[in-house]
Amino acid sequence: MKLVIPKHIGIIVDGNRRWAQKNGLPSWQGHEQGYQNLKKIAGRAFDKGVCYLTIYAFSTENWKRRKTEIIFLFKLIKRLVAEEVNVLHRDGIRLSVLGDISRFDLDLQRNIIAAQKLTARNTKGVLNVCLNYGGRQEIISAVNKFIKSRPSTETITEDDLENHLYTVGQPDPDLIIRTSGEQRLSNFLTWQGVYSELYFSSKLWPDFNIRDLDLAIRNYGERQRRFGK
């Protein structure tokens, strides 16, 4: 039977801190290991034919974490948009940042905008990185954008809202993977994920390897998607 490849995969990359604790390391090393793992998993996904990969990297709730941890996370984000973007561009991958970046420092905002502009015409795949992202916040933002664009309109349709989401023009995720054994979506792709197949792995994110991704994709291919029919 031919392997069915999901066109769009979303991943909740969970377990970096627990991985560090499990290995007797500071939390920042867990995030560093998770960052390195993301590069491997993303490369594998695009090589297998996935067109869109959406990574839940920093949520609106993550601001509640310790300041030292947030500072290191933003060092990784800066590395992604200032350095790794060149590798993405070479490989034909378009980088798209989903979320409200207005809270970030101006240098990071400029780097994000420049990275998206650099890769805007790439066609091999799209890497969405969710930063300061929350699914509810995205829906509220989309509604407010619509109201601002058409203040006299009394009703709003699904198409109206989708045209103002961060993912406008992209298909909904076929498969959402969450690592670390947790079995919830945690405000990730709240609108887009209503019919996504869900796959939960007990592996902590730094331990989730290429074989685990292949297994998740194989599991997806064995499911029958009815969409309410």
- Which residues are known to be catalytic? 14, 62
Q: Do 115 and 95 touch, CB atoms closer than 8 A?
A: yes
Tokens of 52: 């869109």
Rounded CA separation 67/56 (Å): 20
**Using the 8-state DSSP alphabet, how is residue 166 labeled?**
T
Question: Which helix or strand (DSSP H or E) is residue 112 part of?
Answer: helix 106-119
| β-bridge pairing 175-178 and 93-98 | unpaired
| β-bridge pairing 8-12 and 93-98 | unpaired
Rounded CA separation 140/126 (Å): 24
Residue 91's identity, in one-letter code, is: D
Residue 25's identity, in one-letter code, is: L
Rounded CA separation 134/139 (Å): 9
Rounded CA separation 13/123 (Å): 25
